[in-house]
């Protein structure tokens, strides 16, 4: 693989209007501590900072009033530093942690209303999760680990082994099916975790910081693997990370959390181009902007003296990719969408981004 | 104190971070200062109030509580034939257990039906031992098992050993039947764990002598009582370790199973149990060891086996014979220990060695089973394979060897040992004991509670207060204080030895390999075997009792500290070496401070083990609680007092356990 | 697959091989278990005696009584004797639960007699053993020889300083022993105004070891002891004379100031056993011998390290006349 694949390919963002969201989260709260359920209802307590809430009630609000939608086939990334509540959030979505208040609607069904049996059924058929520390069973071979979810569903041995074998090959572990987890490297162990999640053919995959424990090189391989799998199987994914570059690389949309609250939710170029506040701005400061921003973010309305016969590019072309074309042209490039002129991009705009002059502001 | 207050009162914002360190050190100093202050106040008040309100109770005196215990005991005895609880509950239990033990005995140790010998003779048992050890462990332990069991025969103790084995196997089997489910439950539920813990503490620290006699009322004299006495003492380790094993399964793995939609049952059967299997086997190991430690005590209620040989030999002070039988117990313990340890690691080892051997395993197992079957058949049919040949010449040689060594030691060492004994007794034990026994009870109680609060926090303080109150209630306060003095001195000696040898073993693998078998032996060798020579050396004194406790408790402390030292990260030691530390500096500045957790655990376990030897101490001159328990076991009218003394031992144990654990949590936090 | 099959074949061959070896071994095998059983099964015909459960308390003198009675019951009466190693308390409990038929050397134990004979009526007295039990304070022979006046309690205070140890807190040490025995020693020391402190050795083993060492190393030891006791044949301890025992002088435990009474050691049997008509009951009832007799058997066991059975056999063969009197 070359570095080319690392550059985010703007996948046609599939959240076209009309498709109903797979997951729809409304006013979600998770409060730990005594009398936790009173906090979301109390106007006054809701307004406190996390620290104040701790001092007043002894409660910790890990997730505070979060809402978002995830569209089918989307890769939705939740990003935040440690303690921001992102891991709690993803566990609330499958009720591995019981939310305190709010709604989690999955394919039109409020998961919080599901009884144990229904919830188990959902977990067995619709969701699956990949964990930071893998959570593999050391006493089982790779193929048995992969087949574990199917075994729990009650699938027969022959059938589940066959299916597990397919998935093992899909994640590139062919030849290792009879090894035990502790004989594999961290990256390979996480491939097993990934295969286990895929084996049940779920509708949604949840990833809880799956690559944080891995070496940088292996992490990159695994990220590419996820991108590849997303192309091949097209699952909806909810991906938790603390690494902005990972978020930008994988995510169609990114939700930034801080102290349990949503700070901003948008596409990568939205975060970089229009940070909601200083926190996000600080976060995205060091991002190579040319890799993320699209022409839409740097174009300017054509002024009177501009020549309007330059080459045309789409508004969603990433700056980095447009650089050569813009600099090679002796006239400003026109940004055109559906035949309509949105703006123009000249050498200065490009250079400002590439040279980082616009950054930090 | 005022300095500290002043400092914290005007914290400037910029200094807040810098101050964190000095404030902490002030607190540390002040804690040891507070301890010192408590001791000084105690000493001063002691000098003023000496001899008042000491709650002393003469050896033959009883309190109302003791008499009430006696009455309860008597009424149980009087009603046992008419009480439905006995007719339909205890009797049923007894029948089941008796049947089980008798079945195992007829298999391997006792003549059965119309045969003059058991169903399986020595050759069969050795064959089974080797085969099973190989199947669950590896060929090395199989060899050890064959050699060990053959050695038992050569000692001339085949039948006795098999009786002990039968009883141990039955007791461990019944214990595990309850212990593993209870342990799993305690592992899953915090609530149940909290309820269970005091019971386990009670079962492990209550001296067996206290319930030995009542047990024979409930379950009659015979295998059932012996088995139940053994399992009361032996089950708690399995329960605790199983619970611990379940708790230490990584949370992610359980979560992963949940996220795949596993039911509770599936999570338990497919994740928790398989993943804790290895640790649970270590629990089984500990249960076996504890059961073997009960062999001699169970002999007092007619439990057959090696224990009887030891007890009878000691009636005539026949150290040699007692040692021979004790050695048989040690050999059996080492074999069972190594086999279970190997069993717990087998799966992993097999996984590592990969398929080469694995594919051959099944046919080999079948061949092994066939050989074993033939051996069993031979030993069932032919006399030479049924009864161990020879007269046990090895055993006689061992006996006379042990006798010679004992006599030599008694003759040539007594001058040195007496000086040592007097130094410890007069320099350390007597002053400390006087302080404890001659202070008014409320002063000692207040000092203990204050120390509990300072070292362990408020909760530990409350526990201490409750324990002190109950100790006063038992009516044996003064004896408790005498025992406490010896216990503390013994624990100090245990820790000294533990640190010296623990560090040595932790730093040198060779030393570890050399010492470990002797440590194992010291833990399972019946104490009386080595106490007879000690009695000759030190006389019937509190010091002899302390030595007995040290011999029993020091191995545990050494093992724990050795592990702690070994677990200090190599990089830290490397960093210290590269900074130019010499060996002494590495030990005192790096390895010991970093093994602090292990040191606290060693203190805790050392104390508990010392307390479990209080009764043995009572048999060799310690007096106080130990003697009360022994006398209560022997004389009907002292039964209640013995029970109260047993409770007092439990209370002392609980008190120290909670204080040291809380202190450990505080220092590590 | 083929490989696995080959392994199985190897395995099967192995099993077959083992079986062949096994058969070969059994062909030249030696005596079979059933063959010799008739002689090993015990010589006496199992008469109408049935099973006889005899408690064995943990001291050698008792062991001697029990061994001789058991030997005679087995060989002359054809009983199936089961010995049960038990402490006294538990042995007496066994009368009630029906697991013990006889206790063949009982030292006083008025409390147990009251409980089991008078109150529960599960046990009955079966007469004296003929042995007399002495309890008192003893010193090693060298001390009695070197300082003959020590054998009178009036002189004890004179030597108190000599008996000082690390345990006795500045006073002389009076070593008390076996927790099984009731002692009045604390009261005695107080009431006789002796400058001694009672120290509890805690076991017979500890006591014997103390006296043995005292005699060998010429150490000063005074302690509680009793006879008949096998140790007396190794080190003949000398008894210190205390104020004479008079009936009732030990009635109030607090105020005791006299010697221990001479115990007529006796036998106790369960009420059921006494009514059973078993010849073993008559044996127990008739059994009586002297302190010397017991000391001989005890010496065989403790000093000569014979098994109790062998010791009993030796004595019974040498004293057939006494035995005949018991079983007539």
The domains of chain B are located at 433-669
Nearest neighbour of B535 by CB, restricted to C84, C97, C206: C206
User: Each residue of B135-165: pLDDT tens digit?
Assistant: 888 888 999 999 999 998 888 888 889 999 9
Peptide bond into C187 cis (omega under 30): no
Helix (H, G, I), strand (E, B) or coil at A129: strand
Cβ contacts of C299 within 8 Å, gap of 6 or more:
C230, C233
Beta-carbon separation of B383 and C36 below 8 A = yes
DSSP state of C77: S
Residues A346 and A208 both lie in one domain: no
Q: Contact, C322 vs C74, CB < 8 A?
A: no
Residues A119 and A148 both lie in one domain: yes
User: Could you count the other beta carbons within 10 Å of the beta carbon of residue C265?
Assistant: 22
**Touching chains, B (3+ CB pairs < 8 A):** A, C
Q: Which CATH superfamily is domain B433-669 in?
A: MetI-like (1.10.3720.10)
Question: Rounded mean pLDDT of chain A?
Answer: 82
Structure tokens at A117: 């049996």
Residues A325 and A283 both lie in one domain: no
Beta-carbon separation of C11 and B367 below 8 A = yes
Nearest neighbour of B316 by CB, restricted to C34, C40, C302: C302
Q: CATH code at A336?
A: 3.90.1280.20
Residue A61 included in any domain = no
Beta-carbon separation of B383 and C33 below 8 A = yes
The mean per-residue pLDDT over the stretch B353-374 comes to: 75
Q: Using alpha carbons, select from B531, B559, B502 the residue that is nearest to residue B615.
A: B531
Residues A300 and A342 both lie in one domain: yes
Q: Contact, B93 vs B224, CB < 8 A?
A: yes
Chain A residue closest to B257 (CA)?
Answer: A149
CB contact, 8 Å: B248 with chain A? no
Helix (H, G, I), strand (E, B) or coil at A75: strand
Residues of C in Cβ contact (< 8 Å) with B81: 96
Question: Rounded mean pLDDT of chain C?
Answer: 81
Query: Chain B window 253-292: which residues touch A at a Cβ cutoff of 8 Å?
Result: 253-263, 266, 270-271, 274-275, 277
For residue A73, pLDDT beyond 80: yes
Residues of A in Cβ contact (< 8 Å) with B347: 139
Structure tokens at A78: 């939740």
Poorest-pLDDT segment among A255-264, B77-86, B280-289, C301-310: B77-86
> d(Cα C298, Cα C305) in Å, to the nearest integer?
10
**What is the β-pairing status of strands A101-106 and A23-32?**
antiparallel
Residues A347 and A283 both lie in one domain: no
**Total domains in the fold of chain A:** 2
Residue B39 CA, chain-centre distance (Å), reads 31
Confidence at residue B165, expressed as pLDDT on a 0 to 100 scale = 92
Confidence at residue C13, expressed as pLDDT on a 0 to 100 scale = 58
Residues A162 and A278 both lie in one domain: yes
Q: What are phi and psi of C222, to 5 degrees?
A: -130, 135
Residues A283 and A302 both lie in one domain: no
Give the confidence band of A238 by pLDDT, cuts at 50, 70, 90: very high
Residues A166 and A210 both lie in one domain: yes
Q: What is the dihedral of CA A197, A198, A203, A206, to 10 degrees?
A: 40
Range of the domain at A321: 290-354
Confidence at residue B658, expressed as pLDDT on a 0 to 100 scale = 85
Beta-carbon separation of B80 and C96 below 8 A = yes
State yes or no: chains C and A have 3 or more CB pairs below 8 A.
Answer: no
Q: What are phi and psi of A228, to 5 degrees?
A: -60, -45
For residue C147, pLDDT beyond 50: yes
Structure tokens at B238: 């399995």
Q: CATH code at A231?
A: 3.40.50.300
Confidence at residue A350, expressed as pLDDT on a 0 to 100 scale = 80
The structural domains of chain C, ordered by start, are 46-132+265-327 (3.40.190.10), 134-255 (3.40.190.100)
Confidence at residue B264, expressed as pLDDT on a 0 to 100 scale = 86
Confidence at residue C6, expressed as pLDDT on a 0 to 100 scale = 57
Confidence at residue B59, expressed as pLDDT on a 0 to 100 scale = 66
Kindly report the three-state secondary structure assignment for every residue of B259-293: HCCCCHHHHHHHHHHHHHHHHHHHHHHHHHHHHHH
Q: Contact, B410 vs B536, CB < 8 A?
A: yes
Confidence at residue B168, expressed as pLDDT on a 0 to 100 scale = 92
Residue C177's Cβ-count burial label (10 Å; 0-12, 13-18, 19+) is: buried
| Alpha-carbon distance C87 to nearest alpha carbon in chain B (angstroms) | 7
Residue A34 included in any domain = no
A272, A288, A304 - which closes a domain:
A288
User: Each residue of C14-70: pLDDT tens digit?
Assistant: 555 555 555 555 555 566 766 544 433 344 444 567 888 899 888 888 889 999 999
Residues A130 and A195 both lie in one domain: yes
Residues of A in Cβ contact (< 8 Å) with B356: none
**Touching chains, A (3+ CB pairs < 8 A):** B
For residue B245, pLDDT beyond 90: no
Residues of B in Cβ contact (< 8 Å) with A96: 255, 258-259
The mean per-residue pLDDT over the stretch B215-222 comes to: 80
User: Each residue of B159-172: pLDDT tens digit?
Assistant: 889 999 999 999 99
Chain B residue closest to C212 (CA)?
Answer: B536
Residue A281 included in any domain = yes
Give the confidence band of A109 by pLDDT, cuts at 50, 70, 90: confident
Q: What is the dihedral of CA A184, A186, A190, A191, to 10 degrees?
A: -50
Percent of chain C with pLDDT over 90: 6
For residue A187, pLDDT beyond 60: yes
Residues A154 and A283 both lie in one domain: yes
Residues of B in Cβ contact (< 8 Å) with C120: 77-78
Residue A24 included in any domain = no
Residues A158 and A298 both lie in one domain: no
Confidence at residue B565, expressed as pLDDT on a 0 to 100 scale = 84
| Alpha-carbon distance B129 to nearest alpha carbon in chain A (angstroms) | 27
Chain B residue closest to C9 (CA)?
Answer: B363
Helix (H, G, I), strand (E, B) or coil at A213: coil
| Alpha-carbon distance A175 to nearest alpha carbon in chain B (angstroms) | 15
CB contact, 8 Å: B358 with chain C? no
Residue A127 included in any domain = yes
Query: B596-612 vs B190-205: helix axis angle to the nearest 10?
Result: 50
Nearest neighbour of A128 by CB, restricted to B255, B259, B275: B259
For residue B662, pLDDT beyond 70: yes
> d(Cα B41, Cα B38) in Å, to the nearest integer?
5
Beta-carbon separation of B257 and A152 below 8 A = yes
Beta-carbon separation of A133 and B274 below 8 A = no
Pairwise pLDDT comparison (B567 vs A24), residue with the higher score:
A24
Cβ contacts of C318 within 8 Å, gap of 6 or more:
none
Residues A162 and A202 both lie in one domain: yes
**Residue in the block written with tokens 């039109």:** A108
Poorest-pLDDT segment among A213-217, A226-230, B17-21, B539-543: B17-21
Poorest-pLDDT segment among A232-236, B365-369, C35-39, C218-222: C35-39
The mean per-residue pLDDT over the stretch C249-265 comes to: 83
> Number of residue pairs across A and B with CB atoms under 8 Å?
72
Give the confidence band of B65 by pLDDT, cuts at 50, 70, 90: confident
The mean per-residue pLDDT over the stretch B417-434 comes to: 83
Beta-carbon separation of B115 and C11 below 8 A = no
For residue B182, pLDDT beyond 90: yes
The mean per-residue pLDDT over the stretch C188-214 comes to: 85
DSSP state of B541: S
Beta-carbon separation of C31 and B382 below 8 A = yes
Beta-carbon separation of A137 and B253 below 8 A = yes
User: Each residue of B224-238: pLDDT tens digit?
Assistant: 888 999 989 889 888
The radius of gyration of chain C's CA atoms, rounded to the nearest angstrom, is 27
User: Each residue of B183-200: pLDDT tens digit?
Assistant: 999 988 889 998 988 888
Residue A65 included in any domain = no
Poorest-pLDDT segment among A13-22, B591-600, C215-224: A13-22
Give the confidence band of A2 by pLDDT, cuts at 50, 70, 90: very low
Structure tokens at A182: 């502790």
The mean per-residue pLDDT over the stretch B280-306 comes to: 85
The mean per-residue pLDDT over the stretch A234-259 comes to: 88
Poorest-pLDDT segment among A317-326, B487-496, C300-309: A317-326
Residue A360 included in any domain = no
């Amino acid at each position: 693989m070359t570095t080319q694949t690392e550059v985010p390919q703007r996948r046609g963002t599939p959240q076209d209007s009309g498709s109903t969201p797979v997951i729809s989260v409304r006013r979600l709260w998770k409060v730990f501590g005594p009398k936790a359920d009173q906090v979301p209802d109390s106007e006054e307590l809701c307004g406190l900072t996390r620290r104040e809430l701790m001092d007043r009630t002894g409660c910790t609000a890990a997730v505070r009033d979060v809402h978002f939608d995830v569209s089918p086939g989307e890769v939705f990334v939740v990003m935040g530093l440690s303690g921001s509540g992102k891991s709690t959030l993803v566990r609330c979505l499958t009720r591995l942690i019981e939310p305190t208040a709010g709604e989690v609607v999955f394919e039109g069904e409020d998961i919080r209303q599901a009884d144990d049996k229904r919830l188990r059924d959902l977990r067995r058929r619709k969701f699956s999760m990949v964990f930071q520390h893998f959570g593999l069973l050391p006493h089982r071979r790779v193929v048995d680990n992969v087949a574990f979810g199917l075994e729990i569903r009650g699938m027969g041995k022959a059938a589940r082994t066959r299916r597990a074998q397919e998935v093992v090959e899909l994640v590139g572990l062919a030849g290792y099916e009879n090894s035990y987890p502790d004989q594999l490297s961290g990256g390979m162990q996480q491939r097993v975790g990934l295969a286990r999640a895929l084996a049940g053919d779920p509708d949604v995959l949840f990833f809880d910081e799956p690559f944080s424990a891995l070496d940088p090189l292996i992490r990159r391989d695994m990220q590419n693997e996820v991108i590849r799998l997303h192309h091949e199987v097209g699952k909806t994914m909810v991906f938790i990370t603390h690494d902005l570059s990972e978020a930008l690389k994988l995510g169609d949309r990114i939700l930034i959390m801080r102290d349990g609250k949503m700070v901003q939710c948008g596409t990568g170029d939205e975060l970089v181009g229009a940070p909601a506040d200083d926190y996000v701005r600080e976060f995205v400061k060091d991002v190579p902007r040319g890799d993320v921003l699209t022409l839409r973010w740097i174009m300017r309305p054509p002024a009177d003296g501009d020549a309007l016969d330059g080459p045309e590019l789409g508004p969603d072309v990433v700056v980095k990719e447009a650089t050569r074309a813009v600099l090679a042209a002796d006239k400003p490039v026109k940004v055109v969408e559906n035949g309509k002129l949105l703006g123009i991009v000249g050498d200065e705009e490009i250079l400002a981004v590439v040279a980082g002059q616009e950054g930090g502001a | 104190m005022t300095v500290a207050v002043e400092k914290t009162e005007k914290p400037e914002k910029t200094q807040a971070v810098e101050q964190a360190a000095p404030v902490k050190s002030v607190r540390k100093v002040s804690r040891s200062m507070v301890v010192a202050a408590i001791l000084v106040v105690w000493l001063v008040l002691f000098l003023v109030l000496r001899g008042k309100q000491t709650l002393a109770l003469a050896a033959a005196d009883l309190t109302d509580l003791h008499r009430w215990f006696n009455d309860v005991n008597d009424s149980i005895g009087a009603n046992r034939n008419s009480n439905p609880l006995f007719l339909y509950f205890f009797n049923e239990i007894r029948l089941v257990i008796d049947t089980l033990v008798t079945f195992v005995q007829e298999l391997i140790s006792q003549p059965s039906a119309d045969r003059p010998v058991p169903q399986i003779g020595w050759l069969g048992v050795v064959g089974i031992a080797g085969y099973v050890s190989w199947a669950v462990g590896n060929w090395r332990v199989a060899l050890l098992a064959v050699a060990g069991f053959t050695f038992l025969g050569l000692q001339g103790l085949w039948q006795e050993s098999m009786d002990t084995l039968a009883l141990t196997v039955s007791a461990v089997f019944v214990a595990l039947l309850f212990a593993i489910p209870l342990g799993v439950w305690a592992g899953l539920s915090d609530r149940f764990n909290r309820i269970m813990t005091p019971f386990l503490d009670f079962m492990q620290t209550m001296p067996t002598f206290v319930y030995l006699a009542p047990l024979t009322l409930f379950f009659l004299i015979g295998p059932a009582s012996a088995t139940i006495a053994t399992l009361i003492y032996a089950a708690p380790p399995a329960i605790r370790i199983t619970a611990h094993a379940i708790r230490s399964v990584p949370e992610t793995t359980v979560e992963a199973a949940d996220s795949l939609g596993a039911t509770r049952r599936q999570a338990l059967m497919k994740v928790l149990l398989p993943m804790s299997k290895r640790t649970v086997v270590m629990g089984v190991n500990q249960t076996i060891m504890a059961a073997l430690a009960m062999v001699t005590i169970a002999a007092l209620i007619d439990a057959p086996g090696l224990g009887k040989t030891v007890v009878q030999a000691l009636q005539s002070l026949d150290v040699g014979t007692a040692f021979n039988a004790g050695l048989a117990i040690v050999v059996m313990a080492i074999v069972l220990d190594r086999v279970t340890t190997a069993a717990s690691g087998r799966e992993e080892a097999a996984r590592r060695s990969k398929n080469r051997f694995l594919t051959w395993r099944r046919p080999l197992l079948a061949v092994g089973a066939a050989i074993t079957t033939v051996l069993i058949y031979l030993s069932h049919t032919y006399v030479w394979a049924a009864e161990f040949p020879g007269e046990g010449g090895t055993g006689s040689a061992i006996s006379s060897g042990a006798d010679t060594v004992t006599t030599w030691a008694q003759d040539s060492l007594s001058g040195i040992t007496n000086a040592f004994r007097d130094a410890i007794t007069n320099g350390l034990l007597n002053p400390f004991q006087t302080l404890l026994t001659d202070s008014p009870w409320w002063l000692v109680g207040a000092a203990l509670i204050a120390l509990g609060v300072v070292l362990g926090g408020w909760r530990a303080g409350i526990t201490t207060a409750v324990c002190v109150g109950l100790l006063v209630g038992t009516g044996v306060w003064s004896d408790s204080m005498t025992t406490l003095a010896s216990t503390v001195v013994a624990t100090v000696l245990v820790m000294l030895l533990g640190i010296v040898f623990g560090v040595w073993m932790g730093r040198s693998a060779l030393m570890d390999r050399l010492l470990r078998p002797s440590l194992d032996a010291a833990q399972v060798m019946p104490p009386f075997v080595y106490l007879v020579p000690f009695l000759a050396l030190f006389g019937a004194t509190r010091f002899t009792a302390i030595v007995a406790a040290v011999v029993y408790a020091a191995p545990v402390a050494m093992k724990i500290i050795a592990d702690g030292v070994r677990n200090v990260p190599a990089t830290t030691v490397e960093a210290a070496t590269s900074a130019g530390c010499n060996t002494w500096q590495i030990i005192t500045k790096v390895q010991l401070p970093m093994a602090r957790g292990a040191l606290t655990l060693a203190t805790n376990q050392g104390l508990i083990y010392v307390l479990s030897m209080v009764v043995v101490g009572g048999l060799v001159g310690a007096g106080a609680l130990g003697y009360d328990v022994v006398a209560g076991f022997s004389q009907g009218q002292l039964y209640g007092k013995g029970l109260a003394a047993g409770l007092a031992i439990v209370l002392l144990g609980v008190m120290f356990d909670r204080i040291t654990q809380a202190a450990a949590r505080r220092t590590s936090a | 697959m083929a490989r696995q099959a080959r392994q199985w074949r190897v395995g099967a061959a192995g099993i077959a091989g083992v079986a062949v070896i096994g058969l070969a071994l059994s062909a030249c095998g030696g005596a079979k278990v059933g063959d010799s059983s008739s002689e090993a099964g015990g010589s006496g015909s199992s008469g109408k005696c049935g099973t006889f459960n005899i408690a064995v308390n943990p001291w050698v003198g008792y062991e001697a009584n029990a061994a001789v009675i058991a030997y005679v019951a087995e060989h002359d009466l054809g009983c199936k004797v089961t010995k049960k190693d038990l402490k006294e308390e538990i042995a007496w409990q066994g009368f009630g639960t029906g697991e013990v038929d006889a206790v063949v050397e009982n030292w006083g134990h008025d409390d147990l007699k009251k409980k089991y004979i008078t109150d529960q009526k599960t046990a009955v007295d079966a007469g004296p053993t003929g042995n007399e039990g002495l309890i008192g304070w003893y010193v090693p022979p060298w001390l009695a020889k070197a300082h003959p006046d020590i054998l009178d309690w009036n002189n004890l205070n004179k030597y108190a300083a000599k008996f000082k140890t690390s345990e006795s807190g500045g006073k002389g040490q009076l070593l008390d022993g076996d927790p099984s025995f009731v002692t009045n020693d604390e009261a005695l020391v107080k009431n006789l105004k002796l400058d001694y402190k009672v120290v509890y050795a805690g076991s017979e083993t500890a006591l014997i070891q103390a006296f043995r060492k005292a005699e060998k190393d010429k150490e000063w030891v005074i302690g509680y002891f009793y006879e008949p006791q096998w140790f007396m044949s190794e080190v003949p301890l000398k008894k210190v004379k205390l104020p004479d025992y008079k009936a009732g002088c030990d009635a109030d435990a607090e105020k005791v100031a006299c010697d221990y009474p001479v115990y007529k050691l006796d036998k106790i049997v369960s009420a059921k056993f006494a009514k059973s008509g078993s010849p073993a009951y008559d044996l127990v009832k008739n059994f009586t011998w002297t302190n010397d007799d017991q000391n001989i058997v005890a010496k065989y066991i403790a000093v000569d390290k014979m098994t109790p059975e062998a010791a009993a056999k030796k004595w019974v063969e040498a004293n057939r006349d006494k035995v005949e009197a018991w079983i007539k």
